[in-house]
Amino acid sequence: MKMDKFKDKVITMNLTKLNHCSVNLKDFVDFWSSCYHDQSEKNYSERINNTTITEEDLRLLFEWKNGGNLSQRKTQTLQEITRRIDVINCLKNNFSLDKFLGTFDFVNGVIWKIFLLHIICPDSYPIVDQHVYRAYLFISKNQRAEIPNNKRQKEAVYFSEYVPFFNSLSGPNIDISKKKLDEALWAYGKFLKTPYGNKME
């Protein structure tokens, strides 16, 4: 092919680069939440606001959080949680954090305990995992670190840092959906872990 065929032609190409620019919260949430996709999302969305939680609700919600079927160990933990379903529904109507922590201290996985807390009180206690925590640190402190492994440290940073951060970005006076905010933080935090995200400063 002769190159002179292109000499006098304008070639339009969609060439882009990753552009790190500051945006407002709504634009951030709109963009990054659009990168989130979960085929089993209805297992969460159709149950999280139920005023009464059933055993089936618990199973499907925890399978959603787990990303699929539960291991034998996680199934046993869920069975222990389900035995206290009356307490769960009581707390949904009359919440006490002290009673929750005292009742469900046996749940060894902090992420699961926090997810149960979210099921009981979704408007006050957001979901947490490695991705949203990574996003929180980078956004609020310009730091890169992973969520602590230590159980007590993980609970401490959740209650003292992540909950206030998340709730300050959503609420009745802010036109940002808590679910969309969670999706955006999850997608952004996951991106930060990639080689491309590592280039962000």
Q: Per residue in 153-187, pLDDT tens?
A: 999 999 999 999 999 998 777 889 999 999 999 99
* Global pTM value: 0.89
Is-contact 135 188, C-beta < 8 A? Answer: yes
Report domain extents, the chain.
Answer: 24-38+124-201, 50-121
Residues 6 or more apart whose Cβ sits within 8 Å of residue 183: 32, 33, 36
Q: Is the pLDDT of residue 12 over 90?
A: no
Q: What are phi and psi of 33, to 5 degrees?
A: -70, -25
Looking at the DSSP bridge assignments, the partners of residue 171 are 174
Answer with the residue of higher pLDDT: 188 or 1.
188
